[in-house]
Amino acid sequence: MDNQRLIFFVILSFSILLLWDSWQKEQQPAKPVQKAPSTTSVRSDAQTPQLSQASIPSGTVVAEGKPENLLSGNRIKIQTDVYKAEIDTIGGDLRSLALLKHHEADDKTKPFVLYEDKGPRINIAQSGLIGDGLPNHKQVYTSQASAYSIGETDKQLQVRLSWSDAAGISVNKIFTFYRSSYLIDITYEISNLSGNRITPHAYYQWLRDGQAPIGDPKFVTTYTGPAIYTDKEKFQKVDFSDIDKGKEKYPKQSSDGWVAMLQHYFFSAWLPAENVQREFYAKKIGNLYAAGVIIPVGIVEPGAKSSTKMVLYAGPQEQDNISTLAPGLDLVVDYGMLTVIAVPLFWIVQLIFKFVQNWGIAIILLTILIKLAFYPLSAKSYRSMAAMRIVSPKLQKLKEQFGDDRQRLHQAMMELYKTEKINPLGGCLPVVVQMPVFIALYWVLLYSVEMRQAPFMAWIQDLSAPDPYYILPIIMGITMLVQTKLNPTPPDPIQAKVMMMMPIIFSVFFFFFPAGLVLYWVVNNVLSIAQQWQITRTIENARADKGHG
Which residues partner with 177 through β-bridges? 157, 184
285 vs 415, more confident? 285
Residues 147 and 260 in one domain: yes
pLDDT tens profile 313-370: 999 999 889 989 999 999 999 887 888 899 999 999 999 999 999 999 999 999 999 8
Confidence of residue 34 (pLDDT cuts 50, 70, 90): very low
- 76: containing domain: 31-325
Residue 23 lies in a domain: no
Q: How far is CA 476 from CA 103, 147, 374, 513, 529, in A?
A: 29, 53, 20, 12, 12
Residues 315 and 412 in one domain: no
Query: What contacts 46, CB < 8 A, 6 or more positions away?
Result: none
Residues 269 and 371 in one domain: no
pLDDT tens profile 51-95: 433 333 443 433 334 444 688 899 999 999 999 999 999 999 999
- Name the pTM for this structure: 0.80
In angstroms, rounded to a whole number, what is the distance separating the alpha carbons of residues 218 and 249?
A: 28
Residue 509 lies in a domain: yes
Amino acid occupying residue 129 = L
Q: Omega into 57 within 30° of 0, i.e. cis? A: yes
Amino acid occupying residue 299 = I
Residues 301 and 355 in one domain: no
Residues 318 and 393 in one domain: no
Residue 332 lies in a domain: no
Q: Which whole number is the average pLDDT over 199-226?
A: 85
Highest-confidence segment of 64-73, 143-152, 205-214, 517-526: 143-152
Residues 478 and 527 in one domain: yes
Residues 395 and 277 in one domain: no
CATH number, domain of 118, equals: 2.70.98.90
Residues 503 and 532 in one domain: yes
In angstroms, rounded to a whole number, what is the distance separating the alpha carbons of residues 166 and 176?
A: 28
What secondary structure, in 3-state letters, does 4-24 show?
Answer: HHHHHHHHHHHHHHHHHHHHH
Residue 336 lies in a domain: no
Domain boundary among 325, 359, 393: 325
What average pLDDT does the structure give for the chain? 81
Highest-confidence segment of 172-181, 366-375, 507-516: 172-181
Query: What contacts 464, CB < 8 A, 6 or more positions away?
Result: 445, 446, 448, 451, 452, 453, 454, 514, 515, 516
Residue 77 lies in a domain: yes
Q: What is the pLDDT of residue 183?
A: 98
Residue 93 lies in a domain: yes
* Widest pairwise Cα distance in the chain: 107
In angstroms, rounded to a whole number, what is the distance separating the alpha carbons of residues 503 and 506?
A: 5
Residues 415 and 313 in one domain: no
Residues 373 and 297 in one domain: no
pLDDT tens profile 461-492: 888 888 888 899 889 888 888 877 776 666 56
Task: State the DSSP string of 248-306.
Answer: -----EESS-EEEEE-SSEEEEEEPPTT--EEEEEEEETTEEEEEEEEE---B-TT-EE
The total of structural domains in the chain comes to 2
Q: Angle between the 359-373 and 515-545 helix axes, to the nearest 10 degrees?
A: 30
Residues 9 and 85 in one domain: no
Residue 299 has phi, psi (to 5 degrees) of -75, 135
Residue 335 lies in a domain: no
Residues 380 and 515 in one domain: yes
